[in-house]
Structure 1
Amino acid sequence: MRAKDQLGLDGEAAASLHLQRAGMRIVDRRWRCAHGELDIVAIDGSTVVFVEVKTRRDIAFGHPFEAITPAKVRRLRALAGLWLQAHELRGPVRMDAVAVIAPRSGSWRIEHLRGIS
C-alpha cells in the first residue's frame, strides 16, 4: 500500500474515533458504489451524518478543508442520496468534514466542521 493511501486510512480511523468520542455512532466507513466513496457515515442523535475526511502531513499546500470544493460537496450529496436509498433510511441529514493534520513527529490535530454546504 502506498504511504499516501495508508495516511488516508489512518486519518479516517482517527476521525472515526474523534466522532465517537463526540457522541456519534459510526454506521459505515469507506462505503463504495459505482459513483464514488463516502468516508464515514455516522448517526448524531436522529441525524444521519455523512463525513468527508481530509488528511495531510502539514498545511504547506493549504488546509485540508480547502480540498473540499463546491463540486466535491455536490458529489458527496449525490453519494449520500445513494447511501440512503441503499439503506432505506429517511430523516434529517447533515454533511460534515473532518481535517486531520498528521505530522511525522508530534501530535495530530483534528478539526471537525459541522454542516458543510
Structure 2
Amino acid sequence: MSAQRQALGRYGERLVERWYAERGYRVLERNWRCATGELDLIVTDGSQLVVCEVKTRSSGRFGTGFEAITARKQQQVRRVAAEYLRQRGGWRGPIRCDAASVMGRTVEVLTGAF
C-alpha cells in the first residue's frame, strides 16, 4: 500500500475516533493486529464493546467507503474480533460491529452495521 493511501486511512481513523470520543466512547485499541488481520478501532461506552471498520475515500469516484465493506470483509472483521476476544479473555457485555465511511471531513457511522 502506498504511503499516501496509508496516510489517508490514518486520517479517516482519527476522524472516526474523534466521532466516538465526542459521544462518550473510550478507545481501547487502534489498528489491533493479529495473524488473521487487523481491527481499525475498538471502543467501549463502558458496557458495550464496539469494533469499527473504517473506510476513507478522497472522492466518490470509486463509491463510498461503505460499499468497500463487502460480505467477505465483514466475515474477516468478525474472525479478527473473535481472536481479539480470545486473547483478551472475552467480554461480559454486548458486542457490536460498526462501519464508518469518511470522505473529506464528513464522517458517517452505521452502528450495528453487521
Q: Please classify the TM superposition score into its range, dividing by the shorter chain length.
A: over 0.9
- Pairs aligned (count): 112
The whole-number CA distance in structure 2 between the counterparts of 1:115 and 1:74 is 14
- Gapped runs of 5+ residues in structure 2? none
The equivalent residue for 1:16 is 17
The answer as to 2:81 corresponding to 1:80 is: yes
Q: 1:97 aligns with which of 82, 96, 99?
A: 99
The whole-number CA distance in structure 1 between the counterparts of 2:27 and 2:100 is 14
Pick which of 83-92 and 67-76 moved more.
83-92
The whole-number CA distance in structure 1 between the counterparts of 2:66 and 2:43 is 19
Q: SS state of the match for residue 115, structure 1? A: coil
The whole-number CA distance in structure 1 between the counterparts of 2:51 and 2:59 is 24
Query: Shift of the alpha carbon at 1:88?
Result: 1.1
Runs of 4+ in 1 over 3 A off after TM superposition: none
The answer as to 2:110 corresponding to 1:113 is: yes
Q: SS state of the match for residue 82, structure 2? A: helix
Q: Scaled by the length of structure 1, what TM-score is found?
A: 0.91
The whole-number CA distance in structure 1 between the counterparts of 2:29 and 2:59 is 27
